[in-house]
Amino acid sequence: MKSIRSMLFALIAIVLIASIVGCQPKQAAGPATIRVLTMEQAGPTVDEMNAIVAEFNEANPDIKVEIEYVAYDALHDKITTAMASNPPAYDVFLADDIWYAEFAKSGYVLDVTDRISKDTHDKIFAAAWDITTVSGKAYGMPWLLDEMYFFYNEDLLKQAGFDTPPATWEELIAQAKVMKEKGIVEYPMVWSWGQYEAAICDWVVLLYGNGGSLVDDKGAPAFNNETGVKTLNWMVQTIDDGYTNPASVSYVEEDVRNVFSQGKAAFAVNWNYMYDLVNFNTEESQVTGKIKMSLIPAFEGSGVKSASINGSMGFSVAATSANPDAAWKYVEFLTSESIQNKYSAHLLPMWSTSFEGENLTKLQGYTPANAVTVPMFNEQFPFAHVRPKVPYYPEASKSLQLALQEALTKQKTPEQALNDAAAKWVELAK
């Protein structure tokens, strides 16, 4: 019996040693394979991203780029999981503005400050550099310079007897009321208020459009004041009154696009990519040619003209990548001015030079959508707000998502829900 027990211990020892040995990194031979993780949502289509990869692979025979797509809501967790192994499962990944503080603190993203030339630095919007910069160091190239826009179905507006889009949310409700009374559309608005980051984006648009803000100058939560409660109450009220599609409480951006594409909503707030897809894609849209954009409305008496959210992202190299130089080469290619101009239908370049002089005329002509989205970008971007850049953002965001959902599903009053979320933010900041 004793010998069996000692054999057992020996076995356990062997297994543990074997598992440690098995974890040693292996160096791949042949052309350097660069594995890229990006998203399929609210941006360039998979076809466009694959075309860029094909162009790069052809021009660089010594590097082979392999690209993978996930939904936005899976992206953060997939990156952090991939970074747990060494070498990491991906060499290059797309990271959201709100994750850079966390990724820089964790040491996941390569410091590329010295790899960026002064020329490149000066030709890109300062607001774009803010996305990938943490404590003065650049951790990637900005990409997907995006913000939320206001979309309206001109056809439905005309049927209701309106020639101009609403400039304020109050005006919008008045127009929605007429639409409902005339039976033009059952729910004039559709939102992405599901328990996802998308809800935070919509909330920023409404909160800042009411003169509020997420955090104060010191970074303390400021959304649980009278303005915040009033704004959240407005959201609840629009569902109760039937102005907002009640399914919005379970929706993300793609659901908004699908509902809007069917002509089942007159107003929506979404990212840049929706304009091209609803207006020019006859396979996916029943309202092609009827969709217009205008400045996102604000609330009356708030002293604010418009508010949007800066939803820009960046491409970074994994700090522990086995081939950082090859990986950086791909990032540079992907974010280069010529590639960005060529594939600008669903994302706009972050090169300020693309918006100047002759280049602007060219940019507006690259795709049919650009003629509208490029001027609209210039008009809306000054009103875009950023979310707090804190290492604990995912947890802070989840607590605020929960608060919005609790109010929208009437589990709590808006005041109580927002106070609870604010308390969580204070606790996280400690």
Partner 1 sequence: MQRKRTLAQQDMLVGFALILPSFLIILGISLQPILTTLYLSLFEVPRGINLQNTFIGLGNYISLLSEPIFWSSIGRTFYFTVISVGIELVLGLAIAQLIHAHPPGWQFLRTSLIIPWAVPTIVNGTMWRWIYNADYGALNGLLFQLGLIDKYIPWLTKPDVAMNLVILADIWHSVPFIALILQAALATLPADLEEAAAVDGATYFQYFWFIRLPLLRPAILVALIIRTVEAFRAFDIIYVITNGGPANGTVTISYLTYLEMFTFGHAGRGSALSFLISLVTLTLAFIYIRMLYRPEEKQ
Least Å distance, CB 255 to partner 1, is 7
State how far the Cα of 34 lies from the Cα of 271, in Å rounded to an integer: 29
| Nearer of residues 198 and 204 to partner 1, judged by Cβ | 198
Q: How far is the CB of 336 from partner 1 (least distance, A)?
A: 29
Tokens (6 digits) for 271: 């990212």
Query: Least Å distance between CB 212 and partner 1?
Result: 22
Rounded to whole angstroms, the Cα distance separating 150 from 173 reads 15
- Torsion angle, alpha carbons of 77, 82, 85, 88, to 10: -150
**Tokens 């959240």 — which residue?**
232
Nearer to partner 1, 19 or 117 (CB): 19
User: What is the rounded distance in angstroms from the CA atom of residue 176 to the CA atom of residue 265?
Assistant: 10
CB of 422 vs partner 1, minimal distance in Å: 17
Least distance between partner 1 and beta carbon 184 (Å): 16
Considering the complex, what minimum distance in angstroms separates the CB of residue 209 from partner 1? 24
CA distance 36 to 94: 8
Q: Which is nearer to partner 1, 325 or 427 (CB)?
A: 427
Cβ proximity to partner 1: between 7 and 46 the closer is 7
Euclidean distance between CA atoms 428 and 430, whole angstroms: 5
**Residues 158, 224: Cα–Cα separation, whole Å:** 38
The full length of the chain comes to 430
Q: Which is nearest to 100 in space by CA: 389, 319, 384, 332?
A: 389
Reduced to 3 states (helix: H, G, I; strand: E, B; else coil), residue 101 is helix
- In the complex with partner 1, which residue's Cβ is closer, 313 or 402? 402
Q: Say which DSSP state 148 is in.
A: E
**How far is the C-alpha of 314 from the C-alpha of 109, rounded, in Å?**
11
Nearer to partner 1, 87 or 211 (CB): 87
Amino acid at 98: I
First vs last Cα of the chain: how many Å apart? 55
Q: Give the closest residue to 88 by CA, choosing from 5, 8, 140, 25.
A: 25
Element (H, E) at 53: helix 46-59
Residue 110, Ramachandran bin (φ over 0: left; ψ between -120 and 50: alpha; else beta): beta
Instruction: Write out the residues near partner 1 by the rule CB under 8 A.
Output: 4, 7, 11-12, 14-16, 18-19, 73, 76-77, 80-81, 83, 102, 105-108, 186, 194-196, 245-247, 249-250, 255, 258-259, 262, 264, 319-320, 392, 394-395, 398, 401-402, 405-406, 408-409, 411
Q: How far is the CB of 219 from partner 1 (least distance, A)?
A: 19
Shortest separation between residue 307's beta carbon and partner 1, angstroms? 25
Minimum distance from CB of 174 to partner 1 (Å)?
Answer: 24
- Toward partner 1, which CB reaches closer, 18 or 426? 18
Instruction: Give 88 or 228: the residue with its C-beta nearer to partner 1.
Output: 88
Q: Judge contact between 278 and 287, C-beta under 8 A.
A: yes
User: What is the distance between the alpha carbons of residues 375 and 287, in angstroms, rounded to a whole number?
Assistant: 22
Specify the residue, 15 or 126, whose C-beta has the smaller distance to partner 1.
Answer: 15
**308, 296 in Cβ contact below 8 A?**
yes
Nearer to partner 1, 45 or 195 (CB): 195
Report the nearest approach of partner 1 to the CB of residue 187 (Å). Answer: 9
Q: Rounded to whole angstroms, how far apart are CA atoms 176 and 71?
A: 32
Q: In whole angstroms, how close is the CB of 63 to partner 1 at the nearest point?
A: 24
CB nearer to partner 1: give 252 or 347. Answer: 252
Q: Are 193 and 235 in contact (CB under 8 A)?
A: yes
